[in-house]
Structure formats: C-alpha cells, structure tokens
Homo-oligomer: A and B are copies of this chain.
Amino acid sequence: MRAATIRDGEVLVEEHPDPAPGAGEVLVSVAAAGINGADMLQRRGRYPAPPGSPQDIPGLELAGTVEALGAGATRFSPGDRVMGIVGGGGQGELAVVHERQLMPVPDSVAFPDAGGLPEVFTTAHDAVFTRAGLRPGERLLVHGAAGGVGTAAVQLGHLLGAHVTATVRNGDAWDAVAGLGADELLEPQGFEEHGPFDVILELVGAPNLGANVKALETEGRIVVIGVGAGAKAELNLAALMAKRARIMASTLRARPLEQKAATARAMEKEVLPWFARGDLRVPVAETFALDDVAAAYDHFAAGGKLGKIILQP
C-alpha cells in the first residue's frame, strides 16, 4: 500500500507492506484522514509515535471502510463505515486499528468530514465534558476557538446548554466561530474582564495561566490541552485555593488502549447522536489527495484557515 511517510524532516508518499489485522483488530481501507498539529511536530522529528504504532507513517485519525477482520473482532463487518483515533499510521491507504478504538460513522456524515472528526471531537469532549465536567448553564471559555479542537469545543458547549465565550486571535474568523454557537467573541487580550468562567479550555498555553486563574468562577476548572505558546508560567496557589479551583492537563495520544477505547465509547454515547441529528459538523477547510501530502502539510503549517485539512488516500 501507499502511505504518507516521514523521512528526514520531510513528508512524502512511499510504498509500504500491506498491514494485516491481528487479534481484535480491523483492517480499514482509509477514505479520509485528518491532519493535526502532532503531525507537524512528528515531521520535525519531535513527538514520536507511541510504541506499537507505525513509526514513520503519520496520522492520528482516519475514516474508511472495513476491509477485513482479525481473529475475534466482532464489532464491525466488512463494508461498514468506521472512524477512529490511532496512535499513528492513519495517513495511508490501509490501516489496522483495534476494534475497540473504532466508532461507526453516522449516515449523515460524509467521508471527507468523518476523517477529521475523531481527533478534535474526542479531544474536546474528553477535556470539556469528561475531565472538566461542564454542566448546562455554566460558562465555558474556549481559548484558540478557531482551531480544530476549539471549533469542536464551541459546538459541544453550545449544544450542552452552556454559555460559550471564545477567544480568537484572527478577527476574520469571528463570524465563523459565532456561527458554531459561540455566544461571545473576544480578543485574546483582556479576556479576564469578561469572567467569571466555570470551565476554561486552554489550547494556547502558559501565557494565559495567570489571567485564567483570575477569570475563574468558584469551583472552576481549567483544562490545559495545548501549550504551543509556552509551557511555563507562575501559578498563585493561594488564588487557586480561594476559588477551590482545579487545573487539569491532558493529552490523548499517550493513553493506553483501554482509555482510548473508553473515549470512543463516550463519543458514541454522548456526541455521535448529535452528529446523527445533524446538530454538529466538522468544519473542513480543504481536502488533498494522498499524492499532495507535502502541500497539505505546508497548508496546515501556514495556518489561518478555519477547519480541518483532510487527506483522501
């Protein structure tokens, strides 16, 4: 099979042996695979794939059709449309995925979109719903709301019945983010004047930490899942105590199979029904053929677009 391949800081297309599904695994013919920030890091030789995943084929998510089943795999049948998060190797013509990590693709979701669904919606759902425990009527602040996870978090918070405030650096994206359900759009500077917030989703990094603590409601939660703008900042523990607040930090990629499977089950229960009803959508900025993977990566790295960039192997 042909697959995107990382070689010496470049991404290109190479021929690889067809993977074979092991016990409990499913062979997927990949129709669409989203590009994520971690792929950029991996191209630069950082953020290596976890053990057990293909080391040189990037791609953290995929959607496609079941091609064959490994021993004991029973959740899906050949021809089923599936999608899921993988430790790596999503951006090839074929991929093997443990059946517990896969989700069915709702009929209402087309393939290019499904390839960009798992990573951002699972990340946003896990951070905002599962970890931070957002409740209806609470105020959610999403930093970096025009990014992939941000657009998912804004939609999820809105559908749950929270009041959603979004910070977006690029004013051109304000209308689009408002269209996803944000009640209030803010510049990143000075957001703390608009609190207090019950849950703050931090996708930007440490520079926001002090103001995040100031902007928190009593019993508030800060969930940190992105630190692109910096990782270290001063924390005032006394201020955190006075608010009985929590700072939670997380990543999805390093989790063991049982935890990744648990996030997939939570998605099936809490998020896919909203997709099936047409209440959620994956913003797609552009799609690329597998042969154009280098251009697709450059396009992603350039930023500035709202929505996912998706490869179609």
Contact at B237–A206, with CB atoms within 8 Å?
yes
| B contact residues around A205 at 8 Å (CB) | 237
Residues of B within 8 A of A245 (CB): 248-249
The reply to whether the CB of A236 lies closer than 8 angstroms to some CB of chain B is yes
Judge whether B241 and A224 touch: CB under 8 Å: yes
Type the 1/0 row for A167-181, where 1 means its CB is closer than 8 Å to any CB of B.
Answer: 000000000000000
Instruction: Report the nearest B residue to A246, measured CB to CB.
Output: B248
Interface flag for A262 (CB, 8 Å): no
A254 interfacial contact with B, CB 8 Å = yes
Report the minimum CB–CB distance from A134 to chain B (whole Å). Answer: 16
Chain B neighbourhood of A225, CB < 8 A = 241
Rounded to whole angstroms, the CA-CA distance of A202 and B238 in the bound complex is 12
Report the copy number of this chain in the oligomer: 2
Q: Is A110 an interface residue (CB 8 A)?
A: no
Partner of A234, one of B202, B235, B238: B235
Known: A245-B249, A246-B248, A250-B244. A235 touches B238 (CB 8 A): no
CB distance A244 to B249 under 8 Å? yes
Scan residues 35-87 of chain A and give those whose CB is less than 8 A from a CB of chain B: none
Q: A247-B247, A248-B246 are in contact. Are A232 and B236 (CB under 8 A)?
A: yes
Q: Which 5 A-B pairs have the closest CB atoms?
A: A231-B238, A240-B249, A235-B235, A241-B249, A247-B247
